Amino acid sequence: MASQQQLCVIEGAKVLMVGAGGIGCELLKTLALSGFTNIHIIDMDTIEVSNLNRQFLFRKSHVGQSKAKVARDAVLRFRPQISITPYHANVKDSDFNVDFFKQFNVVLNGLDNLDARRHVNRLCLAADVPLVESGTTGFLGQVTVHVKGKTECYECQPKPTPKTYPVCTITSTPSKFVHCIVWAKDLLFAKMFGDKNQDNDLNVRSGDASSSSEHAEDVFERRKDEDIEQYGRRIYDHVFGYNIEVALSNEETWKNRNRPKPIYYRDILPEEQSQQNGNVDKICATDDPSSVSAMISLGLKNAQDVWSLIENSRIFLEALKLFFAKREKEIGNLSFDKDDQLAVEFVTAAANIRAASFGIPLHSLFEAKGIAGNIVHAVATTNAIIAGLIVIEAIKVLQSDTKNYRMTYCLEHPSRKMLLMPVEPFEPNKSCYVCSETPLTLEVNTQRSKLRDFVDKIVKAKLGMNFPLVMHGAALLYEVGDDLEEDMVANYAANLEKVLSELPSPVTGGTMLTVEDLQQEFSCTINIKHREEFDEEKEPDGMLLSGWTQASPVVKNEKAPIGNGGSTSNALPAVQLDAEDDDELEVLPVGTDTVPAGKKRKLAGSSNATTSGTSSVADETRNHKTQEVLDDDDDDVVMLGDGNSDSSKKRKLL
């Protein structure tokens, strides 16, 4: 039972929830049933069918409606006396500024991406409002507390970046199935059905086009009077046959590698077998594009079967035919969507045919979809547990019960007979550029890199600023804002295209730049160090930022789910993955060697007599690389690995 003091604190609190998805639904319900009477919710998403298995406040009739508004209406049915204010909007909108955040006693996050988490963290720091972060993925979950000046902020600890692959590996020398998926999804699918004007590394000309001619034919363009079967066979032969032969012509490449095998349509599908492909006119009586399926057309039912090379070839040609027959209006504007059945079928088939060419084991559609869409299934019970822990920590924060703050981790496997691991939070990291204002250092070729490179690759991508302002001393080099005059906008646009050393106030080695985000009320200082050369493979940005908390890149494993979100803890360090949309999580494995400033983190709930014992458990947790996750929802979490890992080698928590 809550004490009278707790009840008074709860009833008088004004709470901001960010996110009304998997965790958000459970959290809103728990807040309402715990006595909170003034709750505001921000969520930009609408309800999808895939949400209904765990976001229990929503029903099928709500599909397409605002999550925040429907969640409010659902809770008011059983708690009509409380006030719930929904915002169907992006938390990064200018309306949600520091002054907006200052009105709340505590902010509770249920987000699904790193960028939004960093944004909320900075607004909470600027507004001096406590933040309770959270995340789940599968059976894993965590709740972390961030109070300005008392605990580390969300960005005090490393947030690893996802593994990326060199273009040459994807286009020429794949060795893992994930390479084939990336090729099929990001290159072939984009070339076939996306923006035709976008740069793409599949622009190898076919043998019948003159490579010296400016008007050499683009083989991916459908010719006049060419029926869809002819077009499909020509594309098949080009990408799986001709392009492989072109790659084989470079003998140096294959000295220490297995040579791929060109695959041509005539060798896989003789004329009589090609006639077995489905009849487009017999399927898709509905107008719903999502119902279009090459599997249905060809009578293939089990998504967990591994198709043969012949079946993959038939699916590839059938999917291509269906796109042109049933969804032609979308061609030119499509991008891969894991919920688009036909797109998943096309990518799976293309990846498998390419894998066969390079001697890589084939995968089922179910497995390929998981790799392409970064999917791991959510567990509703984990969301409920984490929501309860959020409310417990929120009540401590409202009572200023600093000594009892806990960062709690929900484990998949018991450790010392515990599935919930409470850990004391760290003090602020003195080297954190966000909450401790430590200067950063940027190594860059100031005579080659443009201001645009600096703004896009560093200020926005790495520092997470949305409305940046860049200053050199008193000189304003760049600014974003709706209230700027036209001549200023033109001036800043011109600056973006100038090399750093040629700006009106030149940026050279030894220069100190100040970068601010007025919306976040956040600023940092960057010391510029000139450097002539960079390793294109290891330093593709052509610049190197040091002094900010970013860990090593994550290694991809399409079989092993990892968790989600950015971590705040170092006892259970995090590995986060990118989320492509709201259903995709970011995960966090754990185990970092850096120990931030402040007292050693230890397990909670022990007497002084057993302090050393609990500390050893915390160390053991660290040594076992316990996984920490931060996500809101979800059906989907990013999976990383080498692409050929055995499913029996799934990563375990402890």
Give 204's Cβ-side CA count (13 Å radius). 18
| Per-residue confidence (pLDDT) for residue 620, from 0 to 100 | 40
pLDDT computed for residue 568 by the predictor: 35
Q: Are 533 and 544 in contact (CB under 8 A)?
A: no
The mean pLDDT of 396-409, rounded to a whole number, is 94
The mean pLDDT value of the chain amounts to: 79
Is the pLDDT at 563 greater than 50? The verdict is no
Please indicate whether residue 168 is annotated as part of the active site.
Answer: yes
Q: What pLDDT, in 10s, does the model give residues 166-180?
A: 677 788 889 999 999
Residue 275 pLDDT:
54
The CA distance from 289 to 281, in Å, is: 14
DSSP state of 508: -
Task: Write phi, then psi, for 204 (nearest 5 degrees).
Answer: -80, 125
Instruction: For residue 571, give every residue at least 6 positions away whose Cβ sits within 8 Å of its Cβ, in sequence order, or none.
Output: 407, 423, 590, 601, 618, 621, 622
Model pLDDT, residue 210: 38
What pLDDT score does 57 carry? 96
Condensed to tens digits (0 to 9), the pLDDT of residues 578-622 reads: 333 333 333 333 333 333 333 444 555 433 333 333 333 344 443
Name, in order, each residue with C-beta under 8 angstroms of 605's C-beta and a sequence gap of 6 or more: 422, 614
Note the pLDDT of residue 168. 74
Q: Is the pLDDT of residue 518 over 80?
A: yes
pLDDT score, position 195: 80
Q: Which of 75-79, 328-332, 481-485, 621-625 has the lowest mean pLDDT?
A: 621-625
Name the percent of the chain lying above pLDDT 70. 75
**Domain spanning 440-546: CATH 1.25.10.10:** no
Q: Indicate the annotated binding residues.
A: 19-24, 43, 51-54, 67, 112-117, 153, 156, 432, 435
pLDDT score, position 217: 60
Angstrom distance (rounded) from CA 221 to CA 311: 25
Name the binding residues for ATP: 19-24, 43, 51-54, 67, 112-117
User: In whole angstroms, what is the distance from residue 209 CA to residue 206 CA?
Assistant: 6
Binding site listing for Zn(2+)? 153, 156, 432, 435
Q: What is the pLDDT confidence band of residue 376, given thresholds at 50, 70 and 90?
A: low
pLDDT, tens only, 98-125? 999 999 999 999 988 888 999 999 999 9
Q: pLDDT digits over 383-394, tens only?
A: 999 999 999 999
Residue 207 CA to residue 22 CA, distance in Å, equals: 53
Per-residue pLDDT at 587: 32
Determine contact, residues 450/170, Cβ cutoff 8 Å.
no
Crossing angle for the helix pair 22-33 and 380-398, nearest 10 degrees?
50
Q: Which residue has the higher pLDDT, 375 or 502?
A: 502
Single out the catalytic residue among 8, 25, 124, 168.
168
Average pLDDT over residues 305-327: 94
Distance CA 112, CA 134 (A): 10
Per domain, the residue ranges of the chain are 177-359, 440-546
pLDDT of 444 higher than 50 = yes
| Strand order from edge to edge, sheet including 543-546 | 475-479, 468-472, 512-517, 522-530, 440-444, 543-546
Radius of gyration from C-alpha coordinates of the chain:
27
pLDDT in tens, 181-229: 999 998 999 989 988 776 666 655 444 443 433 444 677 888 888 899 9
Judged by DSSP in three states, 13 sits in coil
Stretch 572-582: mean pLDDT:
35
pLDDT of the residue at 638: 35
Report the b/e string of 537-567 with b at 16+ CB within 10 A.
eeeebbbbbebbbebeebebbbbbbbbbbbb
Q: Could you write out the DSSP letters of every residue in 214-254? A: TT---TTSPPTT--HHHHHHHHHHIIIIIHHHHHHT-GGGG
pLDDT at 569 over 90: no
Tokens describing residue 235? 């594309």
Going by C-alpha positions, the residue among 441, 557, 573 that lies closest to residue 565 is: 573
Closest of 619, 620, 625, 637 to residue 581, by C-alpha: 637
Distance CA 415, CA 361 (A): 36
CATH class belonging to 177-359: mainly alpha
